[in-house]
Amino acid sequence: MPRNMSFMLTTQQMYDKTKTHTIRDGWWFLKPGEIITAVEKCQGLKKGEKIVRICQIRIMSTRTSKLMFVTPELCVKEGFPKLTPDDFEDMFIRHNRAVNFYTPLNFIEFEYI
């Protein structure tokens, strides 16, 4: 059974299928070809809440990079076409407190199945 990956901040982009890239502080074990179930949220579920599955995705590639290398094209792939790289970086750091511009991160490209 595929692992669940949360897309809590980009749920709508996943439903709209406008997101084809995700940056994670982790998930280093992923390999191209691996199938993942995209879900709305997997941690912090309240009593009685259940995991809501969005779709399945196939990992196309992974690479280590840093937020300081985010481009306008990557913002589009991340589902934020109106954000500049600086705005995207600020938003990412705000939601991932242990991360800064120089933290090695996992840049994951995927396709919808």
Give me the phi and psi of 72, to 5 degrees please: -60, -35
Whole-angstrom distance, CA of residue 75 vs CA of residue 81? 6
Q: pLDDT tens, position by position, for the chain (113 residues)?
A: 799 999 999 999 999 999 999 999 999 999 999 999 999 998 777 888 899 999 999 999 999 999 999 999 999 999 999 999 999 999 999 998 888 889 999 999 999 99
Residue 44: its pLDDT value, please? 77
Domain locations in the chain?
3-112
Query: Under CATH, to which class is 3-112 assigned?
Result: alpha beta
Residue 7: its pLDDT value, please? 97
Whole-angstrom distance, CA of residue 5 vs CA of residue 57? 10
Residue 64: its pLDDT value, please? 98
Query: Which helix H or strand E contains 72, and what residues bound it?
Result: helix 72-77
Distances (CA, A) of 10 to 24, 33, 38: 13, 22, 11
